Amino acid sequence: MKNLFVVGALAAVVGSAHAFCGFYVGKADANLFNEASQVIVVRDGDKTVVSMLNDYKGELKEFAIVVPVPAVLQKGQINVGDKKTFDRLDAYSAPRLAEYYDPNPCDRRQYEMMRKDMAGSAVPAAASAPMAAKALGVTVEASYTVGEYDIVILSATQSDGLETWLKQSGYRIPANSAKALAPYIRQNMKFFVARVNLAEQAKTGFQMLRPLQFAYESEKFMLPIRLGMVNANGPQDLIAYMLTKNGRVETSNYRTVKLPANMDLPVFLKQGDEFRNFYKSMFGEQAKKEGYRAVFTEYFWDMGWCDPCAADPLSPDELRKAGVFWVGAPNGDAQPMPQPGQPRIMPRPPMPGGAQPVMLTRLHVRYTPETFPEDLMFQETKDRQNFQTRYVLRHPAKVEPNACPEAKPYLDGVVKRQESEAQQLATLTGGDINVIRKKLTLPPMPPQKPWWDGLWK
């Protein structure tokens, strides 16, 4: 996997509530996109906590990560997190599939209620002698060992010098890294550099690297992605879980658009991997239509409830582990990463109804160096309208055409509905409508008598 902040080939750097009802039957999680980086960004005011999931596969001695940060970080601002936090956020916010079952059209009262509900829910990425750090314009501002990571915080005055220092210090980085580092040096940013301490890693008992977390203060609400493009081989995916207090998060320097959602699709998507394949194709088609120049919103909701739920909302303890510093802290003023030995902070009671003062925006972007020449800049909006990438399956009722006067018109409507669902699927994914039609399953029809049978009896 190519991590978001990779330097080197290694891994361095809709309506009202009733409209969302239905039975949850499946989801398309982040693992669907094999090359997707995942990050958690917690933000309130100028306080930010970033968690990075390092799904690195290879020799651990060759792993390194370089991340631009706005200031020199103290050891207490750095933490080794838990991958389960990413798994929980992914499961809670994943695109989902819901299903409904049509009532029997011969039950007039129930059928009329179903028709009203449908109307309300329809929504059309040979060495010379080493030069000293000072001669290269590099300053080692701090160094720590945190968990299984050896970490240094660097400042630099020249990108070529920083590239040389990293190579001389054993960080395997690709050619032309200096060009990607230069913009951050011009902004006087520092560099968070981590690699695996093999002895410490062996003590953890973990087979995979745990996420790195760091907390800092900055007026800029941003995520650096340009370093991850140094060794990019084609478009890369990024899934960002944005946790804020008040409203939906969007990018301020790129278009942020909501993916097509809340649409009726053929019921065969419930079978096997059909839904996962659909979502992967659909996202690829939508990214291509936008020229890989847009950031997509996949989910926005608070931590109070969901409908239908792909997973339970995160608990206050889980949110705290994600870096949400205002949950479980009196007055919301506690430091994001308290120093060891500080007094334990007693959690405050949850909001009425069990809701947490946390809004989750899930953003998904597929990008290239040409289409995303700038880092992602964000802003928290005042929008609190719930949104989820939900797709609906409507199972037809099993009824004979002559069971009641309403039966035949209902069955005729099912045929038209299934054709509309097939057309919708083809449009979203760019698929072949004829292949889709072959997968459709119509309601079972009893044998029909010839029209003339019994004509003279």
Q: Each residue of 113-168: pLDDT tens digit?
A: 556 655 544 444 334 445 677 788 899 999 999 999 999 999 999 888 898 898 88
Query: Using an 8 Å Cβ cutoff, are 358 and 243 in contact?
Result: yes
Q: How confident is the model at residue 203 (pLDDT cuts 50, 70, 90)?
A: confident
Q: Among residues 100, 118, 85, 89, which one has the least CA distance to residue 27?
A: 89
**Domain membership flag for residue 6:** no
**Domain membership flag for residue 41:** yes
> Alpha helices, DSSP H only, in 235-394?
274-289, 316-321
**Domain membership flag for residue 153:** yes
Give the Cα-Cα-Cα angle 35, 36, 42 (nearest 5 degrees).
Answer: 160
**Domain membership flag for residue 287:** yes
Q: What is the pLDDT of residue 369?
A: 87
pTM over 0.75: yes
**Domain membership flag for residue 210:** yes
**Domain membership flag for residue 375:** yes
pLDDT digits (tens, 9 = 90+) for 42-92: 999 999 999 998 767 778 887 888 899 999 999 999 999 999 999 999 999
Q: What is the pLDDT of residue 38?
A: 93
**Domain membership flag for residue 357:** yes
Q: What separation, in Å, do the N-terminal and C-terminal C-alpha atoms of the chain show?
A: 75
DSSP per residue, 280-298: HHHHHHHHHHTTT-EEEEE
Q: Which domain holds residue 354?
A: 17-125+131-395
Provide the domain count of the chain: 1
**Domain membership flag for residue 256:** yes
